[in-house]
Amino acid sequence: MGKYRLIWIPRVITILYALFLMLFSFDAFDGDSGVFLKFLGFMVHNLPTVLLILIIILTWNRPLIAGILYLVTGLVFTIYLKTWAHGIEAFSFLSLPLFVVGGLFIALYFPDRKRSKKVKETV
């Protein structure tokens, strides 16, 4: 399988993970507050989703930068949300996918760099 097909694996995982996070934001519509406050709560709950989508859009053709940003985002999720303190389930569902996606982006970056160096040396 070529690199151009493999690069879609972390992209699809990111999109599915963002949709998974978006599911948690629907609890903002529960309660007795007004429509505006419910919508505002929904938007605030979706900030992590928006961040992940922005990262994937801005780094579409830059897998190394994407990998680093997803690793940093995973670290921020782990520290800020304290997923390490809430058990392995919280860490596995909230932080681990970001580390996996970051690692995949970085792993897909380096073989491409080695291949382009070989082509330059033979020319």
- The residues of the chain scoring below 50 in pLDDT are none
Instruction: Indicate the helix (H) or strand (E) that contains 122.
Output: helix 96-122
Which residue stretches of 25-95 are H helix? Answer: 35-45, 47-58, 63-80, 88-94
Q: One-letter amino acid identity for 87?
A: G
- For 1-123, strand residue ranges (E) read none
Sequence ranges of the domains in the chain: 3-117
Question: CA-CA distance, 78 to 35, in Å (whole number)?
Answer: 32
CB atoms within 10 A of CB 51: 15
pTM equals: 0.82
